[in-house]
Structure formats: C-alpha cells, structure tokens
Amino acid sequence: MSLPPSKSEASPNDLTPPTAHPVEHRSDWWGETLVDPYHWLQERESPAVRAHLEAENAYTENVLAPVAELRETLFAEIKGRIKETDMSVPISKDEWSYYSRTREGEDYGIHCRRPVSTEQDMTSFADEVAGNGTPTEEVLLDENVEAGESEFFDIGLFDVSPDHKLLLWGADRTGDERFSAYVRDLTTGEDIDDGLVDLSYGSAWALDGQTFFYVRPDSANRPHEVWRHRIGTPVADDELVYREDDERFWVGVGRDKDDTYIHIGSSSKVTDEIRIIPAAEPMTTPRLIAERRQGVEYSADHVGDRFVILTNDEAQNFRVVTAPEANPGPENWSELIAEDPLVMVSGLDVSANHLTLFERTGGGTRIRMRAWSNGSFVDDEFTEIDQPESVSTVWPGANPEFEATTLRYGYSSMVTPPSLFLLDTKSGERTLLKQQEVLGDFDQTRYTTERRWATSPDGTDVPVSLVWRTDGGELGAAGGSRPCVLYAYGAYEISTDPTFSSARLSLLDRGFVFAIAHARGGGEMGRQWYLDGKFERKQNTFSDVIAVARELIDSGVTSADRLVLRGGSAGGLMAGAVVNQAPELFCGVVAHVAFVDALNTILDPSQPLTVTEWEEWGNPTADESIFRAMKAYSPYENVSEQKYPSILATGGLHDTRVNYWEPAKWIQRLRQHTTGSAPILLWTDLAAGHGGPSGRYEAWREEARILAYILLITGLQG
C-alpha cells in the first residue's frame, strides 16, 4: 500500500498539530458505508506511520512545555511519597518464606526467600534488607539484572516447583505479552534454557518437580494451547495437552490449593469449562469437571474427596455447590450456599478449616467466613469481618497453605493506604501485617471520603465515590466548586473500587476532588448491573457517567470549566462516547490506551482478540441490532462538528489489546471536526504495550505528565 505524506516533524515550540492526510477507505455493512479516512495509520511497520507518531509525541511535548517544571515537581512529589527501598510481607509455603523487595534507584523488584525457621520481627527484618539482604536470604531473581538495558521488561511467569528447588520464570521485553521462559536451578542460580519462547501467562508444576505445564498464544495473542514439558528435554519433544479451537475462549492452567490437581481452564466472557490432571500423575489424560454450557460460569476448588464449585448455574449472582471428586458433573452438584439476589459472590477461598466468601452488596465489598471440616460446616452461620470505613474495599490476600488457620486479606479506602491484615480464624484476632507507608507529611485525617448517588435518565441510582481534602472547606455549593477529576470504567463486570493512590494526593493537595462513577457495565452492584451495561444496553454506561458529571456540577462540587474526565482501555471508550454526547460538561479528557475505534475493530475478526470480544460487545458482523447499537456510540464514528474540550489520548505501539492506531485515528478525526481551539493531544509509548512503561520511575514520570496536563487545562498550573 502506498501511504500518504504527513507532517512528520515537529520543531521546538511548534504548536501546529501534525496532520495525517485522509485516504478514502470504505466498508459496507448492513446497507451502510463506514468511511475510515485514517485507516492507513494501521500500517504498523510503515516509516510514515512511525514518523507521524513521533511527530505527535513532539507536538504533545511542545504543548506541555509551559508545565515542564511542574512535571518535575509532580514527579518529585510522587517519588517522594514512596518508600523506594521496601519489602513485601513474606508468604510462607512449606519450609520457605517468599517475598520481594525494591532498592532506591532501581526500576524493578528483587524476588527472595528465607527459611521459615528464621522468621523474625518484620520491622527488624525490613531494616536488614534495606542494606544488602540478610545472611539467610536467597535472591531468586533480580529483575534489574535480568532487564539489563531493555527499554521494556515485565515478568509474566514466576512459579517455584513444589519441592522448592526450581523456578520457572518468563520475561516480556517488548510489551506484547509474549514471554521467553527459563528454569532456574535455585541451588546453583543457573538457568536451564530449553528454548521456551512465545509463551502466554499461566503455568503449573506437577508434584514430581520435573514436569510443568505452560500456555501458548495463537497469532491473535489468544492463549489457546496447554503444553507439557519435562526439564532438560528439547521443546520439540513437548506434548500438546489441550487445544482450544473456539476463538471465543482463552485457556489457562494452574494447580489447586491442596496440590491435588492441575486445572486446565477454558473460558469465554460468559462460559467456563475445566479439565483436571492429578498433580502426582502428570502424564494422565485430562478429564472434565463439567462440560461447557453457554452462559454457565464456574470455578472449582478441591477439598477432601470433593470439589467446591462457585457457579452462576441457575443463580445470576452465583451460588456454591459441592460435587464428588469421582464424578463431579452438574448432575451430582449439591447446593451448599444458595444464591442471594442482593449479594454477588465474587470469589471463594477454600482451606481445610474454613470457607471464605468474597462478596459485593450495596455497591461495596465484604468478607464472610465459616468454619468447616472435610467440606461440612461446623458452626451455624457465616461471620462477617467488620471494616472501619463504609466506603472502602477488601480483597483476598495470598493464602497458599491449605491447612492454615489464618486468613490474609487486603483493605483500603480512598484515604487509607493499602493494608494487609492477618485474621486468626479461630480466635477472631486480627493483626495488621503492613500498611503502605506514605512518606512526607501525609495525614489521612486531612481527607474525607464518602458515597453519593446520581440519577441516570432511566431513573437508576448510580453510586459515586468521592475523596477531597477536608481543610479546603465544605464540599458543594456551600463551600464553592472545586476542580475535579471524574474517573470511570464500566465494562467487563470489572469493579472500580474506592482505593488509595499516593499519586492522587498531588491533586487533592491542590484543592481537587476525585470522583469515581460506578457506571453500569461494571460489577459494583452485582451481575444485573453488568448486564445492564453491555450489548444493546451499552448506552447506559455513558448515560450513567454523564448523570454523575451533571450531579457533581449541579450540586456545586465542581463546574464544567474545571471538570476532567479520565478513563483507560474500555474506560477510554467510555470517555470518547461521553465527550461526543456531552462535551460541554468537561474542560478536559484523559483517555489511556483508548478503545475508541470499537466498531471497526469488532467488525474485523482478523484483529487480535476480536472474536473473544463478541461476548462482551456483541457481534456486529452477524447481528444488525448490535451493529446499530455500536455505530450509535463508537467514539470514532460519532465525532461531530462541535466544540470539544481539550483531550489527551495515549497508546502503546506494542499493545496487543487496544491497538495504537485507535487513539491515533480518533485524535485526527477530533482535530478535523472540533469547532473549538482547546489542544487535542496524542502520546504514544513507542517501547511499551497496554500497561504502559514497565519501570516504576518511568511509570511515575508518565503519571506526572498526565497530572501536569490536568493542572494546565484547569488553569491551576501555577
């Protein structure tokens, strides 16, 4: 294809945005013609495309030049709140305690262990590793050493063998989420290179300590095969254990908590199927727990002589059943915990001594637990673990020991840093193991968080979580409006829970309010909340966010000239759709790795992961109603002649989830149609993928750029 010329260079202080010349590209669907004048930007290997992205980056830097000093200040603030030399709380498994630590000035973590017999006070141990480790410490993997001079480095596999003698680890050096893997002898520290390349996430060791299972992706980066490998044998001799041919499904592999079975899971967005192999007999042919049934999801844990299964079979908000190990099919499922229509069971933790439920109700999260023995309850009811703040979040911690009588869980709110607790399940005693330390003059009593509600046009009440600095006066009309960042996601049943961010303090301390709109399409209010924000009902997501924005303005929390909308990935689609529909509500938009060319992508099954996405967005190639719905909201298709606020979109050149060209094309169309003069910017990370920069310092610099942009467009850069 012959690509058009474009303005491919931006000189210092040039405030003229790059122009990608339009080239006619048409496609016909359902009697309509879609016109995509910037389709040529999808030529990833083209020098013209690379030059255009570089010119966009230069232009963005020129526009942000007035806040260059502020960016350095913000970076220093973010960095200054973080304890750079730190360590995680050790996790014990058998005779070893595993942990990771960081050192000041280094981008990546150091993975270590020490014998359980050397357990000591956490504070004194942390002081010791702040130097060069301890006499009993073994460094398993120093990511800084392995990264070397790589622009990008990410560990996607880290799996210690059951006998604790070997480590399977894998690294991605481009951001495309494909890993080269090695086996490290933990006695010698030497790597065994058996030629394992192009692996995906997921692995599981057999109990023999010599055999492991791994996952390979297909050409679309869909994890679709599980292979068996034996240490020291050529990869050419590996055996294919399972291949998933249905393009809607991804595969994964893992070992259950009591080390009885290897689980091979195959899952689409709405359907699950699990096969098992005895961990002590890794050459065994996999057998099914339950055959896939469209729309039926399940997960399984093993205890005693049965499986404990969490499923939505005949239970929209999920129920818990048990099944005999020998014949675990649905015909033998016995209900253990019935569905509660007001409570979504989002996860289980199964141990020998207790069953723990992680649940969602009323827009919040909770943990309940109950003692049992051999899979039978030994007391009358579940006990809820109380939490100190109503607007907060709890989540499961690492609990690898099946026989443990304790439970680790995490807790945070928008004013309380992430905290790790240890609960004694017999006495009920709770111990704070660690809370993220925030350096500097942080005092959480200076900040207030609360839950409010906005009403969507169809009458649905939408929860909103807010945090602000209290000493700035009252929030709302009585105290005067404040600058505000509104964040939302609203897809995949993913919940954007209210948690703490130390980087966010740089805005709060400058008078900002930070708000989260818990829009439909997410999972905050149960399964129906998710269903009401997908397929033909996707518009509800955008209507909810617009309703929250209006409520924040109408109640005097903020004003349209100081309200910034922020979202990423599918949240970038949200931001793009919302700003098309209600641009007058915002002074700015930040859309990270933005899924803004949704219709063209979902119409093209040759694009990575498109087919797997049909169960989230619908299949517009086969269903006209889905095509009409997507065409009505897809951000790229709905850019129109109107005054847009300032917009900063980001992408990653090696992103395999949201291709870099989606924000690149969107930005061009926005500039073509806006009737305003607010800057519309694109920043593409040319060395990263969906998750952005891999090193922590570069990630902090990226956040400083975004915060500086927010301060610039709200007029608070001084």
- Phi first, then psi, for residue 687 (nearest 5°) are -130, 15
Is residue 569 part of the annotated active site? The answer reads yes
Q: Is 206:262 a contact under the CB 8 Å cutoff?
A: yes
Identify the active-site residue in 172, 272, 655, 685.
655
Separation of alpha carbons 569 and 585, rounded Å = 21
426-450: b (≥16 Cβ within 10 Å) or e: eeeeeeeebebebeeeeeeebbbbe
What is the residue-wise DSSP string for 56-125?
HHHHHHHHTGGGHHHHHHHHHHHHHTB-SSEEPPPEEETTEEEEEEE-TT-SS-EEEEEEGGG---HHHH
Q: Which of 111, 263, 354, 690 is catalytic?
A: 690
Rounded distance between C-alpha atoms, residue 241 and residue 224, angstroms: 11
Place of tokens 């209006």: 550
Q: Annotated catalytic residue: which of 268, 413, 569, 634?
A: 569
Contacts of 386 (CB under 8 A, 6+ apart): none
Beta strand pairing call for 364-373 and 383-384: antiparallel
Alpha helix (H) residue ranges in 130-196: 143-147
646 in active site:
no
Of 355, 356, 357, residue with least CA distance to 373: 355
Task: Read off the amino acid at residue 294.
Answer: Q
Tally of CB atoms within 10 A around 11: 8
Phi and psi torsions of 627, nearest 5°: -55, -45
Q: Is 37 helix (H, G, I), strand (E, B) or coil?
A: coil
Question: Across the strands, what pairs with 466?
Answer: 450, 515
Describe the chain by its helix, strand, coil percentages, rounded to 5. Answer: 25, 35, 40
Whole-number Å distance between alpha carbons of 24 and 22: 7
Which residues have a catalytic role annotated?
Answer: 569, 655, 690
